[in-house]
Chains A and B, each alone.
Chain A
């Protein structure tokens, strides 16, 4: 039932390789079990094929719409309004030491 969209449907299917998926996983810091890679790649290919229908429409000269509100950013007065709550906030953190959040060693 691609109907409505059928009018715009993309002629050819797009397919993502396992390599494409691997680099997307690194970029997104997302681990996917090796057994599932194949299936995920297929689903992503279907999704990209669906959105590829966009290519069919002529958007020459159309201004991209980044946001539904056509308004200007409101500015905040430069005042300190936040108190020290780190002990309360750090209750949600699993590893804290000497007020610091701990992460695996950062190498530069």
Chain B
């Protein structure tokens, strides 16, 4: 079926003229129409502009100046600003916000000729690991509608898994690309901090936020990443380093690669079956000639507490701009200035966002700054040094992406601490600014789980090559959710 094809295959077929970009777009729009009702993966579907873009893509294909992504349908997480289209960030605060400009990642995909079908659902301001914190309602897991898809890029992950779109963008601050990718059975990569410009990406925690891509295969994820990566004069923290040719990196043989395995990750916090799938995946890696090496990350256990100080601290400041004056929700009956601010923000933000803003204000406030914020920064340094030490011995670090497969909707939503602890495996990489990906490595009780690969600074190529080699040996990434 058309929608089971990978981006690479679709691109080839488009260039061969097997079908037009318009036909392809209509096919996926029809699937969204038919299947998204109960999945709720999209907040906004931009059918009309999509068809217009598809027509331009066909013209470009005909003219022979197409890129590998020309005519390929994609979706953007609703955290990316899209000119003329509502950019809600999953929040009531921005329900009425129509961005006057494009995020750099959006702009680059547009220039490449990709066709945006719409904006995907997400945890409000990317704060969450279950996609239950969305003003637009939870996204449901295509593998089982009673389960969460993971978060915060849950809409993008569910849409790709359900074949509503072949690829999508996402953002990852503590695991928001990798965790939903794992729970939905797809491949997602968060590159090195600064590899993709943050311009136009609504900020959650600026020193951790990084855009990435979600698709069914490492090859597709690489095709998308290739386009959105690179320097940007508008982002001081975007890396100036040239972007390597990932497709070429994929093509090369794995060669002599050493992968580190963190034994601590396999303790009783990890679902035994999940652990088993990961071990099986690692042995496949060994068959591919990879050397496994047991390593220790001394302070990784502190990544959850460190993250839940740093991220809320930055968020509390980043979200201060939402005051109802220049854009976004504005409280009706004003009152004095302070009341106006408090009511506007009290109405505009959801429970989890409020918790993080308050936590952030707390850890930065006089008297607590040193004990929490500064302490967390020091621990962040220790965690980062642990990784640096490890990468002197290994080319990548492998382990589970999540402690277990998807959990039921509502199970953890009222227990933030349990929700936070669930991020234990994914939080380390962003704290150190390192690239990491998750790919399907099997099923646990009929549900997909992921293998996570963490790489050294700018090691995206390594990760993608390893994942691609793995996916040539296995077919976990080809499994579709039942009934899809």
- Direct A–B contact present (CB less than 8 angstroms): yes
Residues of A at the B interface (CB closer than 8 Å) are 1-8, 16, 20-21, 24-33, 40, 43-44, 46-48, 50-55, 57, 59, 62-69, 73-74, 76, 85, 88-95, 101-107
Are the CB atoms of A89 and B100 closer together than 8 Å?
A: yes
Are the CB atoms of B346 and A31 closer together than 8 Å?
A: yes
Are the CB atoms of A59 and B378 closer together than 8 Å?
A: yes
- Which listed residue, A5, A40, A74, touches B302 by the CB 8 Å rule? A5
Instruction: Please give me the residue from chain B that is nearest to A68 by CB atom.
Output: B433
Chain B residues with CB under 8 Å of A85's CB are 100
Q: A51 to B358: give the CA distance in the assembly, Å.
A: 14
- Which listed residue, A40, A53, A76, touches B358 by the CB 8 Å rule? A40
Q: Among residues 364 to 380 in chain B, which have CB atoms less than 8 Å away from a CB atom of chain A?
A: 365, 371-372, 374-380
Residues of B at the A interface (CB closer than 8 Å) are 96-98, 100, 193-194, 207-208, 233, 236-237, 239-240, 264, 267-269, 299-302, 304-306, 308-309, 316, 320, 323-328, 330, 334-343, 345-347, 349, 351, 354-355, 357-359, 361-363, 365, 371-372, 374-382, 384, 403, 416-418, 420-421, 424, 430-433
Chain A residues with CB under 8 Å of B378's CB are 59, 62-65
Are the CB atoms of A92 and B302 closer together than 8 Å?
A: no
Contact status of A51 and B305, CB under 8 A, knowing A24-B358, A24-B362, A92-B327: yes
- Which listed residue, A30, A43, A73, touches B349 by the CB 8 Å rule? A30
Are the CB atoms of B240 and A74 closer together than 8 Å?
A: yes
Are the CB atoms of A65 and B417 closer together than 8 Å?
A: no
Are the CB atoms of A103 and B337 closer together than 8 Å?
A: yes
Q: A65 to B378: give the CA distance in the assembly, Å.
A: 6
Least Cβ–Cβ distance between B318 and chain A, in angstroms: 12
Are the CB atoms of B299 and A57 closer together than 8 Å?
A: yes
Q: A59 to B229: give the CA distance in the assembly, Å.
A: 35
Q: A88 to B306: give the CA distance in the assembly, Å.
A: 41
Chain B residues with CB under 8 Å of A16's CB are 362
Are the CB atoms of A44 and B355 closer together than 8 Å?
A: yes
Least Cβ–Cβ distance between A106 and chain B, in angstroms: 6
